[in-house]
Structure 1
Amino acid sequence: MNVPASTAPQVPPQHEGGDPADPPRPRERSTRGADTRALTQVLFGQLKGLEPGSAEHDRVRGALIEANLPLVRYAAARFRSRNEPMEDVVQVGTIGLINAIDRFDPDRGVQFPTFAMPTVVGEIKRYFRDNVRTVHVPRRLHELWVQVNGATEDLTTAHGRSPTTAEIAERLRIAEDEVLACIEAGRSYHATSLEAAQEGDGLPGLLDRLGYEDPALAGVEHRDLVRHLLVQLPEREQRILMLRYYSNLTQSQISQELGVSQMHVSRLLARSFARLRSANRIEA
């Protein structure tokens, strides 16, 4: 929300001298934060005596929003890993800031940043949950992922490295499988197109990496059917079929192998085929 420069109370500059792009020193940040808190307290004192909807009320309310935008940016920075435009996250957080300003009661003795931060963060989380995700995960996993993410940040700061799954699980007193499930759920914000190219790994799209239809797959059912039918034949007829179609012997070679005439082998094959056709559950 833009507030006219002639009417809005001026927020103290971030730091004096030097390149404005240079980050402020810790002492400067502390001083600026104290000035912002003091200004916020004064503005809330003014806002309390004004009629809601009046021009003066809107002016002071706008000044409060401008003065506390750094709080929104600080909260939005926690969500940089979500690959969402930071401007959009800040705008959503600003909605939470406005709601906090409208509900804040300075007489309760609570500092405004302490009161506003949960509202700002909650508004941003709601935005990610309801508007950004195209892949919805169970609410329990989503809420647990927030704890896993916080524990990861704390352990990284404490150990100077990324924590292991076991360390995160021990910190939160949950199973490692739950930690892995939470991490997977936390990353599941968008469905990836099968035709989208994979960035960074140099591999083709997912569609090109999927399995293909095996032409021999239909043979699995046929082999199972043949095995089922063969066991219904007498042992000698089973052997004749095996010699004919698995060993690729001719009827003459089979007759020599079994010591019977070729005509008898031919009759046994014909009888076996008739039995197999009558027992074939597919043709039946």
Structure 2
Amino acid sequence: MTAHSSSTEPAPSPSARRANRGRDPYDGIEPSLGELAALDPADPHHAGLRDEIIGRCLPLADHIARRYAGRGIDFDDLQQTARMGVVHAVDRFDPAAGTKFVSFAVPTVMGEVRRYFRDQSWAIRVPRRLKELRGRITVITPLLMQELGRTLTARDLAIALDTEVEEITQALIASKGYTSDSLDATPGTDNDSGDHTLTYADRLGSIDPCYILLEDAAAVRPLLAQLPRGDRRILILRYYDNRTQQEIAATIGCSQMQVSRALARILTTLREQALDEPATGQAA
């Protein structure tokens, strides 16, 4: 019977919840804050009391962090930011002002969380003025659409917000950078192939082989400069002038077999030097 009675007990009314506010660990904390303000920061008791006060106020930070959860940012990051706001509130609170700590701490913590959203939740870096203008656009758009009864233009928004059309356009373009998809994500639909296993990165093409060629050219350029003049001439005739081995032999006055052996020797040496490998077959 006792268990049945407790399970059907009505929830506390708002007035009852307000009456129970004193049970919160940060309620009635002003005397402790006054004691902290009276201590010299060099006093050995100062750090311990400060840590105790901050610890008592952490539930307030967690409560505010939960209010902002589910908006695209990890809760752990929100919680850490809110708790940093509590630290700032404790350090900045003036007990002599005669205000309640909670009434000072709540806007301080919320401001810290909102700044985090403004500065960190964008996928790309966007100037602050465009972030703030985007927020104003978001607020006024439904009201203005209801008033005008049509889709809004950039000029409509510029007139309503008393700014330039170019600023509105930039803010609308910047708003596309608020979120982004990971390259490792898999698209939800694929009308072309029906393959839902490919990530965005898989669909962006392959690595351009020219990048490898550029790396190879950068590695071999100083090695070419160190070659004897005769070896460089053979390479130029073969790969720049596109001559055959027979034509090279006739130009430098040797046999085609000598040209073939010279090319094999030069290329082997360049490859081994580029890979930083010891040349094989060399005398010790």
Q: TM-score, normalised by structure 2?
A: 0.47
